[in-house]
Amino acid sequence: MNTKKDILAIAKDSITIESKAIANLIKFLNKDFENAVKFILKSKGRVIVTGIGKSANIASKVVATLNSTGTPAIFMHAADAIHGDLGIVQKDDVVICISKSGNTPEIKVLLPLIKDSKNKIIAITGNKDSYLANKADFVINSYVEQEACPNNLAPTTSTTAQLVLGDALAICLLEMKDFTSKDFAKYHPGGTLGKRLYLRVADLIEKNTKPAVAPEDSITNVIIEISEKRLGATAVIKNHEVVGIITDGDIRRMLKNNDNFTQLSAKDIMGKNPKVITSEAMAIEALDIMESNNITQLLVVDDNSYMGVVHLHDLIKEGII
């Protein structure tokens, strides 16, 4: 039975083999890669990505990456394609075919059919002398010296190489299109990632209360306002403008430093020049301000008008943190 040391040694060897193979891919990048990117950019169709076996799994992931970065793509299993799914490929579509050997039977049947439809083929293959490489219009070399598998059989290093080259294609297309974080948000509206890119402060405070007191209000009124509105703070408003903020921390400090607070008012304990943010600011900006100033609330102000309070808990609830 392997010891813990043996297991870790095997894992390290596996990672080393794959990392060296990935680094080696750089020297294979040539005009074909560049021209493939340019052709996809000017194409009026979609990118169809196909493969067989483990390469099909990689093809599916490449499709997901392309779609999420602004390049319309569809997965087509090579075996299914020759049994009725070839209709996926339409005029002007570009086909990326992924295969380590480039000589699998399904690929040999599929390629002539694609060529007959005059669709361009981009090959990602580890065998530049293969049937696939010879039939393709652009060849991207994914050659690896050995699999991480000790028997050099299980697709490991080779599929990692395919995935990395697919990512490289997607990132090149992304940058050539000037694909921005706003564009990215359109394709990722759900989950934490999407919320970080599109959620605004206005979305966070729309259901929140708007705690507010006047500078002359008593401490009792201040405590009631903070307690009832449940946001841990209240704005201090004078002539319809924010002049300060009182947090529950300010209340605790006041109680610690004063035996009798009946003569005090809001203006005596408020923090002046509070940190504020506009309702149209991104939620992630609110988090940055809170973290950099070690605070848990921000007053929301638009054109000197008090809009409400955004709390750290609002960001946690939405999964921004």
- Is residue 240 a contact partner of residue 290, using CB atoms and an 8 Å limit? no
Strands 138-141 and 121-125: parallel
Q: Compute the Cα dihedral for 16, 19, 20, 21 and give only its sign.
A: positive
- What are residue 44's phi and psi, to 5 degrees? -90, -10
- Is residue 103 a contact partner of residue 136, using CB atoms and an 8 Å limit? no
Strand partners, 113: none
**SS3 string of 222-289?**
HHHHHHHHCCCEEEEEECCEEEEEEEHHHHHHHHHHCCCCCCCEHHHHCECCCCEECCCCEHHHHHHH
In the chain, where does DSSP find H-type helix? 4-24, 31-42, 54-68, 78-81, 105-116, 131-135, 157-176, 181-187, 191-198, 201-205, 219-229, 248-257, 266-269, 283-293, 312-317
**Alpha-carbon distance 38 to 137, whole Å?**
13
Here the tokens at position 232 are: 């841990």
**Alpha-carbon distance 34 to 290, whole Å?**
44
- Is residue 71 a contact partner of residue 176, using CB atoms and an 8 Å limit? no
Residues sharing a CB contact under 8 Å with residue 309, sequence separation 6 or more, in sequence order: 205, 208, 210, 211, 229, 231, 233, 234, 235, 297, 298, 299, 300
240 is in an annotated binding site: no
**Alpha-carbon distance 295 to 233, whole Å?**
11
Binding residues for Zn(2+): 77
Q: Write out the binding residues.
A: 77
